[in-house]
Structure 1
């Protein structure tokens, strides 16, 4: 998994990406499967193909209040207003829209989030908008509905590529709750502790580690009201001496 540095009649030397060198017989390049990265290096971009798994319980129809709130996002305002205007005229096309709108809807919060993701990528200066760019849902599974991002980074350098990919997905993870969507995530020990505290009647604002900013993060200390009360146990009564016979 690297770069061919020497080819002879009997051996082929490959320098791996971790700078180790492996020597293989030429026959193995013919008899086995070989992936050549040169096509990617010579192309216009390096593919990004990752997904979030959306909790299906959070997918819902958009309300006028939600649409009004999301119009505060600059790159969504024009999209929502154009789609509202088309709805009033009875135009319901979402794919290859005559107004040049991205593939997305304002019927559901997930459709609106798909549109936002596509618009964000189209304006991203490190994404090649001349190559395939789409946001799509995959087959639902036990964990929810996978939402996949498919595009190409204009910068093909490995370090830069990973940085661009990470920045995009960090942004999506941070803004997703604004659309009322949450990704599926297996519960951790913290979730069980918070569930027990909620069952015991504690206010959610008093808990720590609650995701998506639902807590008042004034400090990192555990609020005193969220700590279990320790009742003072009276000292044991002294054992009376055994009377002599």
Structure 2
């Protein structure tokens, strides 16, 4: 009997937290999904709708370039942040606010300072006022100061997904208005090895929101990530 019809593995048996046997379904995310870090593969073992084990790996982005082509020029820090915010906003169902994030990103990539400042200001205002975002992101992957210390995470990860989104947009706003460092991407990055640990225990419906809320830097290349 084919245990993976059409490439989809069947559920296997496993003990839940109460010691009872439950079906365990293995579900991969990535490496190519809308509003997902390109190249990331996150493999989740599910009991019901809860992630009980996770593992991750990264596809080597060098394979996507021909000999001598090298890598594309690095995008401005604020543009990358707006792109990450756009992904989280779209996943949360705030399509109109996601459009604002895309406009801000495009203005930053074009080097149009006036348009970028206006777009980021509008984005910041929309995020702060949105009831939908508060409803959909509150309580998603809440992280305390102790959690940050345990997992080696930056202070920008403090709170839940809504807190992180607001913090992200405020940092972008500070930079485009010349009140923040020009390129702070070298510090405060989320350690990829911690992703499986952070995803374990989450409900399936919140996994993509949780990943998007962490404001991950673009993948540097192929490497294995620890399991949890």
TM-score (norm 1): 0.22
State which structure, 1 or 2, has the greater radius of gyration over its C-alpha atoms.
Answer: 1
Choose between structure 1 and 2 for higher RCO, CA contacts under 8 A separated by at least 6 residues: 2
TM-score (norm 2): 0.23
